[in-house]
Amino acid sequence: MKKTIKFCVLILLAILAATPAHAKKQKYEITLTIKGGADTIMYLGHYFAKGNTVLDTAIRDKKGRFVFSGNDTLPYGLYFFANTRGMYVEFVVYNEKPFFTFETQQRDWAGNMKVKGSRQNEYFFNFNHIDAAYSKDLSEKEGTMDSAQFVRYRYNKYLELDSIKLTMIDQHPEMFLSKMMLASKDVTPPLVDANGDTLTIEQRRNYYLEHYFDNMMLNENAIIRTPQAIFYDRVMNFYDNILKFTPPQIIIQYMDPMLERAKAAPDVFQYLVVTLTQKYLQSNVMVYDEVYVHLIKNYYATDANFWSSPSNIDKELQRATKWERLLVGREAPELILFDTLHIPHSLHALPHKWKLLVFWSPNCGHCKHIIPAVYKVFEKYSMKYDIGAFTILSDPDDKTRKEWHKFMADHNMNSPAWLSLDGGEANVDWHDVYDIVTTPQIYLIDENNIIVAKKLGEETIERAINVICAPEQSNSKE
């Protein structure tokens, strides 16, 4: 029995000795050798949205190698080796166990790269060689022909390279490089529909909006770990440029399918929800509050949010709930405050066709500049369009009240239609109801107490009054 046990132990030890070290503990081991290189330190990192992240550092060993290893799983994406002088070379981690060996020459890291243990990277560097050959050819041809000839030549070479990319995408869709190239490819709307009828410009635009993200693998986390131009720039181009100045309902219409696809990729979903939430939280476009509210209600404050604390979710939900009551098209919450003679005034009962609701303070540096300009615009159009102002001191203490009176006197803010109201006593906590965090805050409200414009400033208030109030005035005359 003792001999049998001893024999089994020897077999077990032999098996363990034959098992690669990385199979015992490590989840990745990537080795880089640069022949002729003098670097002693090398970094391992990957791209992320509009930046990059360094994950590991290696010191050159006695064999001239940089060995990166660890017990953490490497998320899929496009990675890079970089030295302290900014030289770098990219490689892929995707659908393979990351136990790779790279060997190259100092004079051209990418051009001389040899790969072991990774079919993805063999494919990746093969294309790099093709791309480099095209770049070299164009560099050599420039200056050997006139500018018009070179432009045509370059255009034809680009077409050739695009054809190679399309062939690679078609023949090797499983390769991460193919997926990155596909994600960079724009969508071309068809000229006719399935019945052969010519599509209108509007129909082609709708097709483009609906299919904009078709080529991007939003359902895989790896897409976020790509260079800025592939993921981040294309996403932000959609919202910053293509959907610029479109109604919030249209933005939501095309945003929802994108986010639903991204739910399959937690890293992508989190990034998109957080980034878009911040974008529309900070937007100066008055109607885009609706997009922020939609994001909070449908994505942030739901079970889909796995990254935020309950207190943070609750904070955002409270703000979204307030903003929802203050959306353009909603009834402005009623306010009743007292003027300087302690006479009460109701916002809803203000007897004017249009109403400016203004929160401001003489202690606010921005207010000191904007409020006199707003008052001049008000004086210019008050009688013409029947506009009344319901203005509220947002810092109602004894010291500020004196400054308030002096400021109004110094700027001749004495129109009877410009009500100056003390915010110290009111029917509601207007700070909370109107979410007054910063000042000035300016709303334009119609005679039915519906909010028609908000987030108005010195540059927008006159244009808003002329666009919104003038048509109503002309219609009433008719």
Q: pLDDT tens-digit profile of 258-267?
A: 999 999 999 9
Question: Residue 471's pLDDT band (boundaries 50, 70, 90)?
Answer: low
Dihedral of CA 353/341/339/342: which sign? negative
Total residues found in the chain within this entry: 478
Contact status, residue 389 vs residue 358, Cβ threshold 8 Å: yes
Question: Residue 142's pLDDT band (boundaries 50, 70, 90)?
Answer: confident
* Residue 10: pLDDT over 70: no
* Residue 116: pLDDT over 90: yes
The predicted model gives 139-164 an average pLDDT of 91
Q: pLDDT tens-digit profile of 277-299?
A: 999 999 989 999 999 999 999 99
* Residue 8: pLDDT over 70: no
* Residue 98: pLDDT over 50: yes
pLDDT score recorded for residue 432: 95
Q: Is 373 helix (H, G, I), strand (E, B) or coil?
A: helix
**Domains along the chain with CATH numbers:** 25-117 (2.60.40.180), 216-325 (no CATH), 336-477 (3.40.30.10)
pLDDT score recorded for residue 24: 54
Give per-residue burial for 216-247: e unless 16+ CB within 10 Å, then b: bbbebbbbbbbbeebbbebbbebbeeebeeee
Residue 324: partners with Cβ closer than 8 Å, 6 or more residues away: 293, 297, 330
pLDDT score recorded for residue 461: 95
Contact status, residue 453 vs residue 443, Cβ threshold 8 Å: yes
pLDDT score recorded for residue 143: 83
Pairing of β 387-393 and β 451-453: unpaired
* Residue 425: pLDDT over 90: yes
* Residue 170: pLDDT over 70: yes
pLDDT score recorded for residue 470: 84
Average pLDDT, the chain: 92
Percent of the chain with pLDDT strictly greater than 90: 89
Q: pLDDT tens-digit profile of 213-244?
A: 999 999 999 999 999 999 999 999 999 999 99
Q: Report the distance separating Cα 394 and Cα 431, nearest Å.
A: 8
For the chain, first and last CA: distance in Å? Answer: 111
Give per-residue burial for 353-378: e unless 16+ CB within 10 Å, then b: ebbbbbbbbbbbeebeebbbebbebb
Q: Report the distance separating Cα 233 and Cα 47, nearest Å.
A: 13
* Residue 476: pLDDT over 50: no
* Residue 15: pLDDT over 50: no
Q: pLDDT tens-digit profile of 355-414?
A: 999 999 999 999 999 999 999 999 999 999 999 999 999 999 999 999 999 999 999 999
Q: Report the distance separating Cα 91 and Cα 82, nearest Å.
A: 11
Question: Residue 17's pLDDT band (boundaries 50, 70, 90)?
Answer: very low
Q: Report the distance separating Cα 30 and Cα 323, nearest Å.
A: 51
pLDDT score recorded for residue 22: 47
